[in-house]
Chains A and B, each alone.
Chain A
């Protein structure tokens, strides 16, 4: 029997890790601080006690080498989950991820898969600044051979992580710090969710609103407000960014004729551009489309709250842009949507 309970995303992630480690003793978890008192914001708490220090392993500060070592472990038959408390730190591991992990299977003529999961967390708020708040998922989407997933709900976090651990490919698992505290129903037993399964979170005929990662709850808040002014949105969460469920997204866009993508990232060459291009390529010759995107300002992330507030997209900027796409002009009286509570109240830990 599958029991459903409410779990936070962080607990859902920990449950996926512990269930997969229980099921398969080739699975191991490593990264800076995985067994320390803060346990990667709680997501690895108790695992070292349960599975031992060989399977839950703190590492030296050596992202490049440890990523390469994980690839070697994966080649040898283990199934490593390499954890980074900031996605920014993956920049030190780009050679191993992009030049080695992503290409090993192909370059070896199918001999050498790399079953590796890289968990990387996006930071936000309290002045974490330009090197601790980046969202770089589109860089990984660019590279054939890598799969990229950015779940927004606790259920999808558990299901996608379980899938990722069992999959034989290198997978970049993107988490957002602000989503960790969100709760939702999660089955206690096995759940899996792979690519090709975008979620429709709200039905509506006026506009397709695609949210990525932390922009999903912001899109839902925007859709709520838009509904009060007579605009009904269909809100989608792609969950997997690569491979992307283009057909699932386009099925909605074909119906609404309007697409707004809210990414928790820069727009330039980003996931949002990919999603809009996918819709235009498939539908642009058969019907008129109105498209738009919102995301980070095209600047590094500043630390002062005065500038952070204008750097980020939010439910308010999403709602305004959606209104414009539907009505052809911005809402006259703006839209009275606050900064979300989790952002306002965030005080660390980091």
Chain B
């Protein structure tokens, strides 16, 4: 499988522009939902999801806009969800932290750090029992690797040789705490290998390398060769939660962000495309976003009577 740069760029650009649109809308208070933006981190989901088929599934976290969009989650339904509307992807019940789109293979996300790692392993077990060659991707942050469930899920997945790709989006921070203040040794890939799981690391967020690594991993999963692990170093450009920048808080410096801004993958891939092709692609994405915002604006809020629905299946 060769990487289709156009497709990767489309994903990157879509995530970037949706997040920027949310930043623009946020001051109007129409999005009454805490938002954990993926600005700066687009390359991970865009690269990994370019290796997936529609029937594959992803499990993400409260920082889930990127994986939702990269896997093909419905944009109108996402925007409506942020606006709290009945047409939202979870009918206004989950908000930004709990985007889900079963038809696109985007599984419900959790705001409890680490919880979906185990769910992803179990889903992979289920897929294999059901006899498909579909695969599961589990996205989580560096902080999640400190939870017991991470180690426990690795062990189970390795033991049962499950078709799950674990992707750690390592942005070096859990809220405001740097990874060096939380982990004694930052050798995640080495640690994971001791479970018998093949693991690799992309240190510079090169989206094309992420895509190639992911293709190789997914191929191995489809062939039943056991779980894989991919660590992608990345950088969050906005505050942990909310639309703003947070350089003034003092826990990290703007200088630290500079190399990431200079190697920005959205810019880089955009420049690799032929200008006319690029302009057409961007215009199409802009049109989709404008339409999604209009859809969200025009959609109704859920009726009060809807509160009691869906508590049970």
Contact = CB atoms under 8 A, between A and B. Distances in A.
Nearest to B142: A61
Which of A59, A89, A127, A310 counts the most B-chain CB atoms under 10 A from its CB?
Answer: A127
Contact of B311 (A36, A299, A349): A299
Which of B92, B96, B308 counts the most A-chain CB atoms under 10 A from its CB?
Answer: B92
B32 A126 contact: yes
A116 B120 CA distance: 35
Nearest to B174: A61
Given A127-B96, A304-B301, A306-B92, A36 B176 contact: yes
A305 B33 CA distance: 9
A61 B32 contact: no
Contacts of B147: 61-64, 92
Nearest to B35: A127
A127 B307 contact: no
B32 A36 contact: no
Contact of B301 (A60, A62, A306): A306
Interface in B79-118: 84-85, 88, 92-98, 110-114
Contact of A36 (B34, B113, B177, B304): B177
B250 interface: yes
Contacts of B132: none
A311 interface: yes
A129 interface: yes
A128 B97 CA distance: 8
A303 interface: yes
A311 B183 contact: no
The contact size tier of chain B is 35 or more
Interface string A75-92: 000000000000011011
B175 A304 contact: no
Contact of A37 (B144, B250, B308): B250
A65 B97 CA distance: 25
Contacts of B114: 61
A58 interface: yes
B57 to A, nearest CB: 20
A20 to B, nearest CB: 25
A182 interface: no
Given A130-B98, A132-B111, A311-B307, A303 B146 contact: no
A126 B33 CA distance: 5
Interface string A303-316: 11111011100000
B148 A65 contact: yes
A302 B98 CA distance: 11
Interface string B48-61: 00000000000000
B250 A302 contact: no
B122 interface: no
A300 interface: yes
A346 to B, nearest CB: 10
A84 B241 CA distance: 17
B5 to A, nearest CB: 36
Contacts of A302: 92-93, 302, 307
A50 interface: no
A1 interface: no
Contacts of A130: 93-94, 98
Contact of B146 (A60, A127, A297, A311): A60
B304 A350 contact: no
B251 interface: yes
A61 B143 contact: yes
Contacts of A310: 304, 307
A71 B45 CA distance: 39
A64 B182 CA distance: 15
A38 B175 CA distance: 10
Interface string B12-42: 0000000000000000010011100000000
Contact of A304 (B93, B97, B176, B182): B93
Contacts of A64: 147-148
Contacts of B258: none
B93 A128 contact: no
B255 interface: no
A300 B312 CA distance: 11
B280 interface: no
A89 to B, nearest CB: 7
Contacts of B98: 129-131, 303
A32 interface: yes
B84 A61 contact: no
Interface of B: 29, 32-34, 84-85, 88, 92-98, 110-114, 143-144, 146-148, 174-177, 181-183, 241-242, 249-251, 301-304, 306-308, 311
28 contacts: A33-B176, A33-B177, A36-B176, A36-B177, A37-B249, A60-B182, A61-B113, A65-B148, A89-B112, A126-B34, A128-B34, A131-B98, A131-B111, A132-B34, A132-B97, A297-B307, A297-B308, A298-B308, A303-B95, A303-B97, A304-B32, A304-B88, A304-B301, A304-B302, A305-B301, A310-B304, A347-B29, A349-B241
Given A63-B147, A306-B84, 18 more contacts: A58-B182, A59-B182, A89-B112, A92-B147, A127-B34, A129-B111, A132-B97, A132-B111, A297-B307, A298-B308, A298-B311, A302-B92, A304-B32, A305-B32, A306-B302, A310-B307, A348-B34, A348-B241
Interface of A: 32-33, 36-38, 58-65, 88-89, 91-92, 126-132, 297-300, 302-307, 309-311, 347-350
Q: Return the 9 tightest CB-CB contacts between A and B, nearest first.
A: A304-B84, A304-B92, A303-B95, A306-B301, A127-B33, A36-B176, A60-B146, A127-B95, A37-B249
